[in-house]
Amino acid sequence: MSRVYKAHDAILDRSVALKVTRTEAPEFAPLMLRREARILSRLAPHPGIIHVYEAGAIEGRAFIGMEYLPSSLDSVLFRYPKGLPSAHAMAMGIDVARALGHAHAHGVIHRDVKPGSVLLDDAQRSVRLSDFNLATMVDAESGTANSGPNGTPKYMAPEQREGLPIGPSADVYALGVTLRELLLGSDEDELDRLPDNIAACIREATAADPASRFPDGRAFARALHAISIPGESAALQRNPTA
């Protein structure tokens, strides 16, 4: 429903990511983009979530001007088909889990966490969670939200694939699948290659039963931090090219 361009802000002299609804998009597309902008504004500021600079509409096409980051975890996985070093992958997983925890604490479920939704800066030392176009608010009474539009099947929790109400643990499931992929690459089904404590953590995050998972991003981040590999500098842990 939208395209994302690298653009130049001539007034502030900086690169930005400009997300614009397509001319052929359904009528509700501008509403969804404005909703995404409001959700990102609600979550700002947070070091692990993409920054929004401006939102508006031109000739009926909605737009969001956002922080520009040059690559995503998809590109990192392309370079490391057998997985990243454990310390690097775990550090990134912790950062994304903390960003999700922040969103969950503000009543937001992302619904489409995957490698392509995690962007990296030039030095690949910090990550930003992006693509909140499918994000939704949790109902205050039930603590859940509708599954809504489909996400990306590989990363969707079972209850989301079945169209059932979802909670923050659906995002935990998606991040668990993403982290498994970061650690193991194309061999992601071979959890026995990982240390037992890391494998157990991923199994809990990706449990079929939502009640058996970590309840939200903060809980997942705490568990990952507790088992993260010591002895690496923070800079090295956040730089998969080091």
- Lowest pLDDT segment from 49-53, 59-63, 66-70, 122-126: 122-126
> Is the model's pTM score more than 0.85?
yes
Question: Order of strands, edge to edge, in the sheet holding 127-129?
Answer: 71-72, 118-120, 127-129
112 in active site? yes
3-state secondary structure of 160: helix
Angle of helix 196-205 versus helix 168-184 axis, rounded to 10: 140
Q: pLDDT at residue 188 above 90?
A: no
The pLDDT assigned to 124 comes to 67
Q: How confident is the model at residue 149 (pLDDT cuts 50, 70, 90)?
A: low
Residues 112, 131, 171, 216: which is the catalytic one?
A: 112
At 1-31, the pLDDT tens digits run 899 999 999 999 999 999 999 988 888 888 8
Angle of helix 168-184 versus helix 217-227 axis, rounded to 10: 30
Kindly state which CATH superfamily the domain 2-67 is placed in. Answer: Phosphorylase Kinase; domain 1 (3.30.200.20)
Q: Domain boundaries in the chain?
A: 2-67, 71-237
Q: pLDDT at residue 114 above 70?
A: yes
- pLDDT over 70, % of the chain: 93
The pLDDT assigned to 231 comes to 45
At 208-239, the pLDDT tens digits run 999 999 999 999 999 999 998 554 433 333 44
At 23-63, the pLDDT tens digits run 888 888 888 999 999 999 999 999 999 999 999 998 879 99
Whole-number Å distance between alpha carbons of 181 and 185:
5
The DSSP bridge partners found for residue 52 are 66
What type of residue is 43?
A: L
3-state secondary structure of 127: strand
The pLDDT assigned to 193 comes to 92
Q: pLDDT at residue 82 above 60?
A: yes
The pLDDT assigned to 141 comes to 81
The DSSP bridge partners found for residue 63 are 20, 56
Domain 71-237 is in which class?
Answer: mainly alpha
SS (H, E, C) 11-38: CCCEEEEEEEECCCCCCCHHHHHHHHHH
Return mean pLDDT, the chain. Answer: 90
The pLDDT assigned to 229 comes to 52
The pLDDT assigned to 233 comes to 34
